[in-house]
Each structure stands twice: as C-alpha cells, then as structure tokens.
Amino acid sequence: MINLRHVYCKSLESMAPLVRSVEETPDPIPTTITGRIPSWVNGSFLRNGPGKFEFGKDRYTHWFDGMAMMHRFHISDGDVTYSSRFLRSDSYIHNSEKNRIVVSEFGTVAMPDPCKNIFARFFSRFQIPKATDNASVNFVKYKGDYYVSTETNYMRRVDPQSLETKEKVDWTQYIAVNSATAHPHYSRDGATYNMGNSYGKGGFFYNIIRVPPPDETAAKADSPDFAGAEVICSIPAAEPRKPSYYHSFVMSENYIVFIEQPIKLDLLKFMLYRIQGKSFHKVMIWEPKYDTIFHLVNRHTGKVSKVRYRAAPMFTLHQINAYEDNGFLVMDMCCGDDGDSIGDFTLENLRKGSGEEMDKVNATSLTHNHIQTQTNLPRRYVLPLTVDQKTPLDQNLVTLNSFKATATMTKPGEVYMTHEELHDDELLQYGGLEFPQINYEKHNGRPYRYFYSCGFGNVFSDSLLKMDVHTKELKVWRYPGLYPSEPVFVASPQATDEDDGVVMSVIITPREEKSTFLLVLDAKTFTELGRAEVPVNVPYGTHGVFNEMG
C-alpha cells in the first residue's frame, strides 16, 4: 500500500482567494465559449456555497459560516450565461442591517450587542440562540419546488431562474423534527425522503421523513407545499446524551439505512456552549470507542430491522449509491477512519500563505485523516437482508461473487461487517475523494458501474475523477492551479449506456483574477468538450444540481 504521506507535492499554493467575499451578479451575463458545449444540454446548473465572510469589522471563523450565495449557469443551444445572488436569509438581512455578525453560525458565535449595557450583555449570553437560516449547503426539491438547505430546521424556497429568495420554511411547523439534512433522496414516484433529529423528554431520535409527490389534480399554488409530510420511522439514539452527527443517509429501492457513527454531539456542551462562547463545531467529538451502527429500515413500512449491524469506527459524509442484490444490500460511500478534525476548515487555516504554511495545514489533515479532504476513500459494505435464528454464527454470510466485504453473525441478532476498499492504489496519487455523484435518475438505488467525484491533493479539490466500481479503474481530469467543484452528471437524451452524457464542474483558481469557467466533460471518455469562461470571481462552493427545466 502506498503511504499517503508521500503522495502529496510540497509547497502547496494558498487557497485564500477561493474563500474571500465576492460581489453578486443578479443579471445574467454572457460567457466566452471555448470548444463546444453539446446543443442537447439545455437547462441550468445551480450551485450553492459560502460567498460573504465578514460584516463590518466582524469576521467569520469557519468556512461553513459564510453567507449563502447561489450561482446559475444557464445553458441553451451551446451558449451559457452566468448569474448569482446572495440568499436573502434572515441571517443575511439582520447582519447587513447591523453591519456586524448578529446571528451565530456553525463555527462563529455572535457577540452581544455592544450598544447594550453591561447587565443586558451578560444576560444575553444565557439566551439560547436561534438556528440560522443561512442555507448554504445544497439545492433540494420538494413537490417540484426548489429550496436551498442547510442542516437546521430552516430552508428557503427560491426561484431557480431568477435566484430570488422566497418563503422561509420551518420543518417544525409541519412535522416533529428539529432539523433536517441537506441531502434528501428522491424516489421514482416523485416522493422525497430525508432525515431529521428530534429531542425532548423522551430522548433523542433520528427520524426518517417522507414528503409525498405533488398532487397532480390540485391547482399549483405559488407557495411551499408540505401537505402530507410525515415521519415514517423514529430511531432512538444508542447514546441519548451523545447522539451521532450525520450529513446524509443510504437509500435503495426498498430500504433506508441510517449510519450511527462515532462522531458525537455532546448535548451537555451543546446546552452550555452559548454561555461558554463556544461555536457549534466545538461540541462535536470523535469517540472511536463506539462502533458504527447501521440501522436498516423498510422504507415502505417504516419498520426497523431487529438485527443489529455493526462495523469498526468510521466517519462518512456522503453516500455514493446502494442497491439490493440477491438478498444483500450493497452500500458504497466515502469514508475516513478518524473524524477528529472537522474544525480544521477554519478560514484562518484556509487563508494560510503558500509554501510551508499551507503544507502544515495539509500535513495536519493527513495526520488526522481529515474527514473533509485528502484521506476519505470509497468503501463498500454488504449487509445481509435474510438474517434469522437459523443463520449460522461466525462465518462470512456474503456470497456475492468477487465481493471482498464480509458480514458475520457474532451472536444471535448481531452482525459484524468489514468493508471492501472500492479503489486501487492509483487513487492515493490524487489524495482520496469526496463529493461523489452518479447517474442518479437511472441508477440511484439500483446496480451501477460509474461514479464521478473530486480528488483532494490539497485542502480543496484539485482533480475530477471517474471511478469504475467493477474494475476500480480511474479516469482523471487534473491541471495545476485549477480547483473543480463537485461534478454533476447530465444524461444525453438518447442515452443507451450508463455514462452516455456530460459531466459539469465549476473550475476556479487562486492564480488569476476573474478566471472561473464552467467545464463540460464527455462522461464516457472524461475528456473536455468545452468550457464557458466567466468574467467574475466565484468562491469555492459546496453542492449543486442540474435543473432541466432551465
């Protein structure tokens, strides 16, 4: 096995230009096309992410905290226009009005109002801060409407064409959850599934949410529609005072799997963090004394399997895909072995100068198996679905051909799983991978062969990767000084193969001003077809989607 510490070049360049505030571009502007963008690609590539990192003299601490900025690359008949807008969240508006940070975020605690007297400032520390509606993580869909989402109980409905901010949506007004992820799954009947937390006197629960398809017979109102939303399953936390953090979940055609991992939220610290002046990320603790637990749920009935599936401690942010195969559930995901460093994405670290300063940041990430970047690797777990009293103990239950993952019943009702590495050593040259995407419409929850992702040879992604999960062969797009966003696959109208289509990514660079471009690759060959150069600065973002409606 190649030692990860030897595959990274030294003297990394500074990422500071990628995490600075930029101006919005509300009116669409033309781009300069190089090469050719296929004429069949028609729609909008929508991206989300932080875009403003200070108000007045106040500065955010963590990259996650920056104010949400929405981007739209509108593609029609080979031409591309670009526009962007800041999300007019309550957080953005209140901060702007006061010209300082007045709403706490993930890594930044808002300080008391300096205009208050000393007693009012003291007692304001004992007020529980309201959750932020700075929805900077993803674009999501419910009943055909677009929303921008983060990991609190708030979302914002948005216009996917003008990027205008619409209604604020509070999950607690519809169902009994206190938050929801920014990574829902979509079933083929038009329903949306998500997960959210709830807590109270009865304990802490992980809840599976279902929002039904839109009612095609009803008149469409220009307002949020969550009628029929329900919690179909509530899973009690294994450690009620230390529930697990999660960013996404697994869904196949018939099952949902919630992964309870050993990165924990210390609820006592969470209750006290406002008084102590600690930000949210400081209440997250890595506790590898706990195994990883896989909770298997029938997504049609909401019934939780009585079998307890376990694996060694690991951390995962993003799932790749999952599918059922002859009595087994195959689950592919990006994993790390140590979730101890979520705080490393502070803006102070990301803005280090090039050379030794950035090398130290990257070396720290390597030392800790940084959960966000270099050493997250694709893994496959195989969960046997037919475990009962007759299942033999202490033998590998995985009988699928050529699979190296194992599952062993160690005692009645308990199965211990080991994973298969879903890559060869070649991947380590590119620093591991994250932000996986597939041909979602055709292959989510079904057998598949390819996924697309970002390679992390730096603290931000510096390559695009196509992985063949059958052969573990890679195709790579990488050029020095260019930093790609999460890739998104768009199928061609006459597609016959899984990878017939294009892959899109927004490419930014710290080396030159106003040199961002939208890259369009042939998904099959992973070679460049064309690019659309944008004459404005664009910061590094999080997630995005392709809206075929335009």
Rounded to a whole number, what is the largest CA-CA distance in the chain?
A: 71
Please name which of 203, 288, 281, 285 lies closest in space to residue 237, comparing C-alpha atoms. Answer: 203
Q: Is 300 annotated as a binding residue?
A: no
Pairing of strands 165-170, 185-186: unpaired
3-class DSSP state of 39: coil
Amino acid residing at 190: G
Q: Where are the beta strands (DSSP E) in 217-340?
A: 230-236, 250-251, 255-260, 263-265, 284-286, 292-298, 308-311, 315-325, 328-336
Pairing of strands 292-298, 284-286: unpaired
Count Cβ neighbours within 10 Å for each residue of 302-327 and write b for 16 or more, e otherwise.
Answer: eebbebbbebebbbbbbbbbbbbeee
3-class DSSP state of 84: strand
Angle at alpha carbon of residue 453, lines to 11 and 378, rounded to 5°: 95
Q: Please tell me the distance from the alpha carbon of residue 63 to that of residue 352, in angstroms, as a whole number.
A: 13
Which residue do the tokens 């949902």 mark?
256
Q: Please tell me the distance from the alpha carbon of residue 61 to that of residue 19, in angstroms, as a whole number.
A: 12
Q: Is 435 left (phi over 0), alpha (psi -120 to 50) or beta?
A: left
Which residue do the tokens 């697994």 mark?
250
Q: Write out the two tokens for 378.
A: 């694709």
Q: Please tell me the distance from the alpha carbon of residue 367 to that of residue 336, in angstroms, as a whole number.
A: 12
Contact present, 482 and 503 (Cβ < 8 Å): no
Q: Is 419 left (phi over 0), alpha (psi -120 to 50) or beta?
A: beta
Q: Is 183 annotated as a binding residue?
A: yes
Sort 160 into a burial class: Cβ within 10 Å, 0-12 / 13-18 / 19+: buried
Q: Is 543 annotated as a binding residue?
A: yes
Q: Write out the two tokens for 481.
A: 């000084």
Q: Is 62 annotated as a binding residue?
A: no
Please name which of 477, 443, 195, 486 lies closest in space to residue 334, comparing C-alpha atoms. Answer: 486
Contact present, 549 and 141 (Cβ < 8 Å): no
Please name which of 31, 144, 183 lies closest in space to residue 548, comparing C-alpha atoms. Answer: 144
Alpha helices in 77-165 (DSSP H): 90-98, 118-124
How many DSSP H helices and E strands does the chain contain?
6, 38
Q: Is 443 left (phi over 0), alpha (psi -120 to 50) or beta?
A: alpha
Q: Write out the two tokens for 318.
A: 């993003």
Contact present, 115 and 160 (Cβ < 8 Å): no
Residues annotated within a binding site for Fe cation: 183, 247, 318, 543
| Residue list for the binding site | 183, 247, 318, 543
